[in-house]
Amino acid sequence: MAKNKYFYNPHKLDFEKVRTSLTTVVFRVFGFLSASVVAGAIMVLAIYSFIDSPKEKTLKRENEQYQAQIKVLNKKIEELGGVLAELQDRDANIYRAIFEADPIDISIRKAGTGGIEKYKMLNGFESSDELIALNEKVDELAAKVYVQSKSFDELGKLAANKTVFLSSIPAIQPISNKDLKRIASGFGYRIHPIFKTHKFHSGIDFTAPHGTPIYATGNGKIETAENGNGYGNHVIINHGFGYRSLYAHMSKMKVRPGQKIQRGELLGYVGSTGTSTAPHVHYEIIKGENKINPINYFFNDLTEEEYQAIREIANREGQSFD
């Protein structure tokens, strides 16, 4: 209810009612309203700057979760990087060395990810730096893993070839030699039993009773199975990779030329055919055109100690059996 206001009129010596114009009233109402709006706005701003709306609260919480996720991912990437570094190290120093593969150039291993342009869409956010760093790390890791997997592919192929190679080349002794006492004469200059001269002995003689089985020392194909050349009944296996092996003075041959043979399969039996003084097998390994010392090709069935013992026996000077 509006209050009536009065003022004293000295001309009329009386109190008169104050008349308020409509304009004044409108102004006053507006004044009051705008003051209220401003005050209200200030209060709302004050409240909102101290207290978050529910939506803001959710967003803040989400943001904190993302930050935590970035940290976790960073840690995981670091761990993966460590595992990969170990693999690279083993690859370079062991695997590639075993298979005689060329080392991978360090610059290829470091595998550049190229350009910062690709991370452009990550710019302009509060966590842009962290996100870009994270992406760079993941890309770098992916590139390194790719290089590493290519290296393993290459080694896989080399290993497959190596398996064929290792099963082909001569790698055992041609007769069972458990007590290691069968070697009677080694590779090198020896006195020839018949000519009694110092002659180069191009193989190793294993003494064994007449009829002892003689085995193929590596996979291959029978190239020769015949009598002649002072070797008596002799067999030559072609192992591929430039390797051949020869077994001489057999009493009986059990293979034919052209036949495929596996390491450990029977070739024939010990005898004394050809220029020989006693039952034995004269064993040769030929690499390319050269006869080489078979002592280096017994590694498959000997321990380190046995190998040393057999080397010593084979190196003794003495008379060969052929």
Interface ranges with Zn ion (CB under 5 A): 203, 205, 282, 320, 322
Nearer to Zn ion, 20 or 227 (CB): 227
Nearer to Zn ion, 96 or 249 (CB): 249
The least distance separating Zn ion from the CB of residue 296, rounded to whole angstroms, comes to 17
Q: Give CA–CA dist 153/143, Å, rounded.
A: 16
Is 135 buried (19+), middle (13-18) or exposed (0-12) by CB count in 10 A? middle
Nearer to Zn ion, 91 or 205 (CB): 205
Q: Using an 8 Å Cβ cutoff, are 152 and 279 in contact?
A: no
Nearer to Zn ion, 150 or 316 (CB): 316
Q: What are phi and psi of 102, to 5 degrees?
A: -65, 140
The least distance separating Zn ion from the CB of residue 228, rounded to whole angstroms, comes to 16
The least distance separating Zn ion from the CB of residue 205, rounded to whole angstroms, comes to 4
What residue is closest to Zn ion based on CB? 282
Q: Give CA–CA dist 140/25, Å, rounded.
A: 75
The least distance separating Zn ion from the CB of residue 256, rounded to whole angstroms, comes to 24
- Dihedral (Cα; 121, 122, 123, 126), 10-degree rounding: 150
Q: Give CA–CA dist 216/285, Å, rounded.
A: 12
The least distance separating Zn ion from the CB of residue 255, rounded to whole angstroms, comes to 20
Nearer to Zn ion, 193 or 213 (CB): 193
Q: Using an 8 Å Cβ cutoff, are 175 and 208 in contact?
A: yes
